[in-house]
Amino acid sequence: MPIIRERYSDDWPQRARVLKDAAGWTCQQCDRPCRRPEESWAELEQRAIALGWGLELHRPGRFVLTTAHIDQNPANNDPANLAALCSSCHLRHDTPHRTGNRQRKREYFGQLPLLGNDDG
- Residues lying near Zn ion in the complex (CB under 5 A) are found at 27, 29-30, 32, 86, 89
Cβ 41 to Zn ion, closest distance in Å?
A: 18
* Residue whose CB is less far from Zn ion, 25 or 45: 25
Q: Pairing state of beta strands 82-86 and 65-69?
A: antiparallel
**Quick one: which of 94, 91, 86 has its CA closest to 31?**
86
Cβ 55 to Zn ion, closest distance in Å?
A: 15
* Residue whose CB is less far from Zn ion, 61 or 116: 61
* Residue whose CB is less far from Zn ion, 20 or 32: 32
**Secondary structure (DSSP) of 66-105:** EEEETTS-TT---GGGEEEEEHHHHHHHHGGGHHHHHHHH
